[in-house]
Structure 1
Amino acid sequence: MGDQEADIERIKESARALKRIRDTFAERANPADGYAVDDLGSQKILDAFDKFSSNWKIRRRQLTEELERLHGITKGAAESYETLDHELAEALRRTDERQPKEAGK
């Protein structure tokens, strides 16, 4: 049973890590913002940054949504495994409690 407990903790930590990554992604400013032709030396480069900016916003939103979904899956899995583990332990305890009574019949 100890190995399963460690696995549940690892799944929980994965869920927490996915949430941290998702939160960071959602808060991250666009890396292309704030540049002018003088900063980059060329309108072509600035145009490329603007194009990147549009794509970045779309991709960042998609990645953020996917990270949120994965967080929910891993968190749910950890909760399910933990509930199952507790229910199994309780069933085993009840069985152990009945065994001496049944043996004495």
Structure 2
Amino acid sequence: MGDQEADIGRIKESARALKRVHDTFEKRANPAKGFGMGEMGSQKLLNAFDEFDSNWKIHRRKLMEELEKLHKITKAAADSYEELDSELARALRESDKESGKGKKGGGS
């Protein structure tokens, strides 16, 4: 079996970053929303943003769903690695204690 190492901190940060991106997408829709012709400068540009808004809502929803899935996967992976690491460390400590007790008991 090959050596495997997981940077749990980095995996957790990835999960948090995915959640931040998801939340940003959730809060930000059309960047031109609320602006009129005075701010945008042309009806053509305003129409383009309105069309973009309609398409963006559909694609944004799909993208948000995928971001949420990835967030859950990376968070679960980090939690699993952390739990496995803790269990392994605990088992090794118990094994060391048992080995130490056997040596002390046999030498006394």
Q: Same fold (TM over 0.5)?
A: yes
- What does the per-residue CA deviation read over 1:12-31, in whole Å, with 9 as the maximum and x for residues that have no partner? 11111111111111111311
Give the distance between the partners of 1:47 and 1:88, measured in 2 at CA: 60
Letter in 2 for 1:89: A
Which residue of structure 2 lines up, in the alignment, with residue 46 of structure 1? 46
Which residue of structure 2 lines up, in the alignment, with residue 8 of structure 1? 8
Letter in 2 for 1:63: L
Give the distance between the partners of 1:101 and 1:31, measured in 2 at CA: 68
Letter in 2 for 1:34: G
Cα distance, 1:47 vs structure 2: 2.8
Does residue 83 (structure 1) correspond to residue 83 (structure 2)? The answer is yes
Describe how 1:88-103 pairs up with structure 2 within 5 A: 88-103=88-103
Number of residue equivalences: 100
Q: Helix, strand or coil: the match of 1:34?
A: coil
Cα distance, 1:62 vs structure 2: 1.3
Cα distance, 1:35 vs structure 2: 3.9
Describe how 1:14-29 pairs up with structure 2 within 5 A: 14-29=14-29
Identity of aligned residues (%): 61
Q: Is the 2:29–2:57 contact (alpha carbons within 8 Å) kept by the matching residues of 1?
A: no
Give the distance between the partners of 2:52 and 2:94, measured in 1 at CA: 62
Unaligned runs of 5+ in 2: none
RMSD (Å), alpha carbons: 2.1
- What does the per-residue CA deviation read over 1:11-69, in whole Å, with 9 as the maximum and x for residues that have no partner? 11111111111111111131132344454323x43332221110111111111111111
Give the distance between the partners of 1:47 and 1:28, measured in 2 at CA: 19
Give the distance between the partners of 1:79 and 1:9, measured in 2 at CA: 10
Which residue of structure 1 lines up, in the alignment, with residue 34 of structure 2? 34
Q: Is the 1:32–1:52 contact (alpha carbons within 8 Å) kept by the matching residues of 2?
A: no
Letter in 2 for 1:32: A
Does residue 59 (structure 1) correspond to residue 59 (structure 2)? The answer is yes
